[in-house]
Structure 1
Amino acid sequence: MVDLHFLNVQQPHWEQAFAKNNEMFGESPSEAAIRAADIFKVHGQERILELGAGQGRDTLFFARNGFQVHVLDYTKEGTERIRQKAKEEGLSDRIAVIEHDVRKPFLLPSGSFDACYSHMLYCMALTTDELVALNNHVRQVLRPGGYNIYTVRHKGDAHYGQGVHRGEDLYEVGGFIVHFFDRAKVEALTDGYEFIDVHEFEEGGLPRKLYQVSLEKRRVE
């Protein structure tokens, strides 16, 4: 059983973390963003929805590389930081930022994006039911043939099974709750999509072990 109280108090925890460190994840783009950008370019996908952008290291990378980026993030600290960076770099015309909790439906037109990108958003404090709903929200705003590329920490990660168990495959380590994935969970989140691939990679000093999942919205549903 999932303890929803602890999942619901993650937002202020992230606010505090971002307030204490303006560059919590550094300024360089993630390996995941670099790989996603190459995929988007191959498929001519220019209008990108980014979910859970944090402080914008990947957002700025996409904008610098010619993409139009629309960001949804539920932290005030994160969204304000991204707007500030975009203004400083003269990229405000390429970056739109909205403070929004992705557990709620997106207030965006259907079929309005070429692709969606998120780095470790799917493995945040979200229940399986919330992940299913999130994947449906993404599919709704993608055009047919649009890509949904997301990353998650998987069960081969050193933190899996550590800390405090919060239900399902959710574990709290250092105050942050992570939902760890296996291949079965990846495959379960493909309704309305064509499964493209799973790329395994590592990030950070632990290192964190991740999947990068690529899905394509079905052209005919």
Structure 2
Amino acid sequence: MSDQHEHWQRTYRTHPEMYGDEPSEAAVYAARLFRERGARDVLELGAGYGRDALHLARQGFRVTAADFSAVALAQLRERADAEGAGERVRTLEHDVRQPIPLPYRSVDAVYAHMLLCMDLSTQEIRDLVAEIRRVLKPGGAFVYTVRNTDDAHFGSGKSLGDDIYEHGGFAVHFFSAELVETLAAGWELRDRHSFEEGELPRRLWLVTQLLPAR
């Protein structure tokens, strides 16, 4: 088990619902976009305890909620069952450094809130986006958020290399605009806009990229 894996397991045990019950701003946006594009099956990567996955389920989507923390996924399943959304939410324990265990062209949309900016190298991120492209259907949408190089924590804390810095036990890969552009090669980069969330506040980009319809 990696240090980051154990850190997140411990964090979810001691601070359940650490980000609250309400969905993130990004999830509200993603649900609206996915609905407009006629999506039905959504994969969320880095779902945690499910505040965003449950919002997507409440909006009528069938959600596969993936995370590498079994503790978080158990909390998600309990919450989904308690509010009657269990049939619309499937949980999947998965480390995104491994291939996504879903078939080719099997989902309509993929959503990831601050997952790509975890302790992942640039090559691991590129490999993950290639996997996302594999499981998306033609015309599918990918919405993700990442902390960026305008964030107050960028360049401070313990440097792990590759624009990754550790603060309070959490490792973050801060994204440059160039990295966003690189990841969008072969996609339509529909939008990249800045927003703020949480304390400091954290500075993030919300990125929307679309696969060609054919």
Q: Deviation at 1:219?
A: 2.7
Task: Give the Cα–Cα distance (whole angstroms) in 2 for the partners of residues 48 and 147 of structure 1.
Answer: 10
Q: Identify the residue that residue 133 of structure 1 maps to in structure 2.
A: 127
Task: Give the Cα–Cα distance (whole angstroms) in 1 for the partners of residues 186 and 137 of structure 2.
Answer: 12
Q: Is the 8 A contact 1:120 1:151 kept in 2?
A: yes
TM-score (norm 1): 0.94
Task: Give the Cα–Cα distance (whole angstroms) in 1 for the partners of residues 93 and 34 of structure 2.
Answer: 25
Instruction: Please state if 1:32 is matched with 2:26.
Output: yes
Q: Deviation at 1:71?
A: 1.1
Aligned length: 214
Deviations 1:151-197 (A, max 9, x none): 00001111111100000100000000000011101001023322111
Calculate percent identity across the aligned residue pairs: 46
Q: Identify the residue that residue 81 of structure 1 maps to in structure 2.
A: 75
Q: Deviation at 1:136?
A: 0.6
Instruction: Please state if 1:46 is matched with 2:40.
Output: yes
Task: Give the Cα–Cα distance (whole angstroms) in 2 for the partners of residues 11 and 219 of structure 1.
Answer: 36
For 1:1-221, list aligned pairs within 5 A: 8-220=2-214
Q: Deviation at 1:205?
A: 2.1
TM-score (norm 2): 0.97
Q: Deviation at 1:104?
A: 0.4
Task: Give the Cα–Cα distance (whole angstroms) in 1 for the partners of residues 141 and 35 of structure 2.
Answer: 11
RMSD (Å), alpha carbons: 1.1
Secondary structure of the structure 2 residue equivalent to 1:106: coil
Please tell me the residue identity of whatever aligns with 1:128. Answer: T
Q: Give 5+ residue unaligned stretches, structure 1.
A: none
Q: Deviation at 1:66?
A: 0.8
* Ranges of 4+ aligned residues in structure 1 off by more than 4 Å: none
Worse overlay, 184-193 or 167-176: 184-193
Deviations 1:61-88 (A, max 9, x none): 1111111110110001111111110110
